[in-house]
């Protein structure tokens, strides 16, 4: 076998979707989210150890690119004591690319995660088959394909990580990139989208959208999402995937119920319902405030709307990040 593919003890891959580690409680969750999501990450990594799987994080390890407390970073360092691959997502970076001031860079510089891109690919034998794992982080252009090492007697399985708005059934309105065959790439695994959206096959390229391992916001999509990791089993001639549910509580246990609206006239219903939610749910991330504004800003002029949105943004985000939450 070609020396470019060193032997490993792995039997496959374990994709841990978008953990969004954060020290605050997001949305309308009523549990201790920081501890809960860290435990989900720990469970996933323990599963990878037991099953001899290579852990992969397709972006958004952190929810805030900066201003993460030291205790959270210390927990990550303690958990990341095995080989882990990944790419950065939009929530991992303060600017358009990863910089030394971003928390994920600290994890990378400590040798706790290997970040992939078009120039940095992972090559190894997994369960007797040469495997190449590459990635395109958020904001970068996807490749048109991949040319594998022709000296290898067995065609490598080529897996590519992405963190983009891919057009999948159920995500047509927000998606911007249409899946297509990428020559030489067998499997594309996309992060960024918080729901599992099945698979799309284009030629010899399979596209998967596994969703994330947690539920950050209260919505119908979140209610139907089952937090899970994506397991990719590999042998010398084929591969297949399956989802392994991550232990989680029922939706009703995790999220506050929406505040019931009292009968009102049509003109004031949006204001009253938004104000009721705002008064009842003073969330750490200002979710009630943002919902209130979304229901009521259209009555103002555009320049006033812009000023209000900017003020609310500065109040609810403590790191100055301009990255927005994606679909949950």
Q: Is pLDDT above 60 for 320?
A: no
Would you say the pTM of this structure is higher than 0.75? yes
Q: Is pLDDT above 70 for 33?
A: yes
**Mean local confidence (pLDDT), 207-235:** 91
Q: State CA 189 to chain mean position distance.
A: 11
**Mean local confidence (pLDDT), 188-210:** 95
Q: Lowest mean pLDDT: which of 106-115, 163-172, 303-312?
A: 303-312
Question: Which domains, and CATH codes, for the chain?
Answer: 12-245 (3.60.21.10), 258-316 (no CATH)
Q: b/e per residue, 96-118, with b = 16+ CB within 10 A?
A: eebeeebbbbebbeeebbebbee
Position with higher pLDDT, 319 vs 174: 174
Give the model's pLDDT for residue 323: 45
Q: Which helix (H) or strand (E) holds 108?
A: helix 103-109
Q: How far is CA 36 from CA 21, 23, 40, 285, 289, in A?
A: 10, 11, 6, 17, 24
Q: Which helix (H) or strand (E) holds 40?
A: helix 33-51
């Amino acid at each position: 076998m070609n020396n470019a593919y060193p032997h490993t003890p792995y039997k496959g891959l374990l994709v841990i979707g978008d953990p969004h580690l954060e020290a605050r409680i997001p949305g309308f969750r009523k549990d201790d989210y920081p501890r809960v999501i860290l435990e989900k990450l720990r469970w996933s990594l323990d599963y990878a150890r037991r099953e001899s799987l290579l852990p992969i994080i397709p972006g958004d390890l952190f929810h805030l690119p900066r201003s993460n407390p030291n205790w959270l970073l210390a927990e990550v360092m303690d958990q990341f004591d095995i080989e882990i691959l990944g790419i950065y997502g939009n929530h991992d970076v303060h600017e358009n690319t990863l910089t030394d001031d971003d928390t994920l860079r600290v994890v990378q510089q400590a040798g706790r995660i290997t970040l992939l891109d078009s120039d940095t690919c992972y090559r190894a034998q997994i369960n007797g088959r040469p495997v190449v794992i590459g990635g395109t982080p958020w904001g970068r252009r996807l490749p048109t394909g991949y040319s594998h090492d022709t000296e290898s007697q067995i065609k490598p399985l080529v897996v590519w990580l992405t963190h983009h708005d891919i057009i999948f059934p159920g995500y047509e309105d927000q998606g911007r990139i249409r899946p297509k065959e990428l020559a030489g790439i067998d499997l594309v695994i996309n992060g960024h989208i918080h729901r599992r959206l099945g698979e799309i096959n284009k030629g010899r390229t399979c596209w998967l959208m596994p969703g994330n391992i947690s539920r950050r916001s209260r919505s119908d999509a979140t209610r139907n999402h089952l937090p899970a990791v994506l397991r990719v089993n590999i042998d010398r001639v084929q591969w297949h995937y399956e989802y392994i549910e991550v232990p989680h509580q029922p939706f009703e246990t995790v999220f506050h119920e929406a505040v019931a609206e009292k009968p009102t006239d049509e003109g004031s219903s949006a204001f009253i319902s938004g104000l009721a939610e705002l008064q009842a749910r003073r969330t750490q991330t200002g979710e009630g405030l943002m919902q209130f504004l979304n229901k009521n800003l259209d009555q103002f002029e555009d320049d006033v709307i812009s000023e209000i949105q900017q003020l609310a943004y500065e109040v609810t985000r403590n790191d100055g990040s301009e990255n927005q939450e994606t679909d949950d």
